[in-house]
Amino acid sequence: MPMTVHFEHVAMSVADLERSVAFYVDLLGFEQTDVIECPASGRLGEVVGLPHCSARIVKLRHGNLTLELFAYASPRGRPATDRCQADLGLTHLGFATTDIHAEYERLRGKGVTFYGPPVEYRPRVWNVYFYGPDGETCEFRQVTQ
C-alpha cells in the first residue's frame, strides 16, 4: 500500500528574484516566509543534479500553498521560449478568486499581460490566464452561484 502523502509546494526558477517576489507578494497576496542561501559548496547540487550550483531560494505562502522561487546564480537558467499550454509538463499556476472581473481589471492596471478577458468556460465557472514575470502562466478561476 502506498504511503499517505499530500501536496506540499510548487517551485520554479526565476530570472529576477526581487521582481518575482514583488509580483507574487504585492499583486497576488503571498507572504514571504523564508530566504535560503545555497552556496556552490552546499548540498543543493546533489539534490537537483547540478554539481556546484548556487542559488537563492525565497519561500512564499498563500493559504495552504507554498511557492518556492529559485534564483540560480550558477548555472544561469535558460528562458522557456515558445511554450504553449499544450506542451508537456506543468502548464499553469491556478488561483481561486471571488471576483475575477475585478482582479482582471486590477492586474491589467498594474501592467500584467493576459491571454484575453475572463471567459465563462462552463456555466458559472469563469477563467482567465495571465503571464507572470518570467512568462509563466497563471490562472484566476471563479465559481459563481
Instruction: Give the model's pLDDT for residue 7.
Output: 82
Paired with 38 in beta bridges are 55
Domain boundary among 45, 74, 103: 74
Domain boundary among 42, 74, 106: 74
The answer to the question of residue 65 being in a domain is yes
Domain boundary among 43, 74, 105: 74
Which residues form the domain of 97?
93-143
Domain count, the chain: 2
Strands in 31-38's sheet, in edge-to-edge order, are: 9-13, 65-74, 54-62, 31-38
**DSSP SS3 for 55:** strand
108 shares a domain with 70: no
Chain mean position to CA 3? 27
34 shares a domain with 68: yes
Q: Give the CB-side neighbour count of residue 14, counting CA atoms within 13 A.
A: 25
The answer to the question of residue 3 being in a domain is no
Instruction: Report, as ranges of residue numbers, the positions in the chain whose pLDDT lies below 50.
Output: none
The answer to the question of residue 33 being in a domain is yes
Instruction: Give the model's pLDDT for residue 12.
Output: 95
Which grid coordinates are listed for 35?
Answer: 530566504
Q: Tens digit of pLDDT for each residue in 109-122?
A: 999 999 999 999 99
Helix, strand and coil in the chain, % to nearest 5: 20, 40, 45
101: domain CATH number?
3.10.180.10
**DSSP SS3 for 74:** strand
20 shares a domain with 54: yes
The answer to the question of residue 59 being in a domain is yes
Instruction: Give the model's pLDDT for residue 79.
Output: 85
The answer to the question of residue 103 being in a domain is yes
Instruction: Give the model's pLDDT for residue 1.
Output: 61
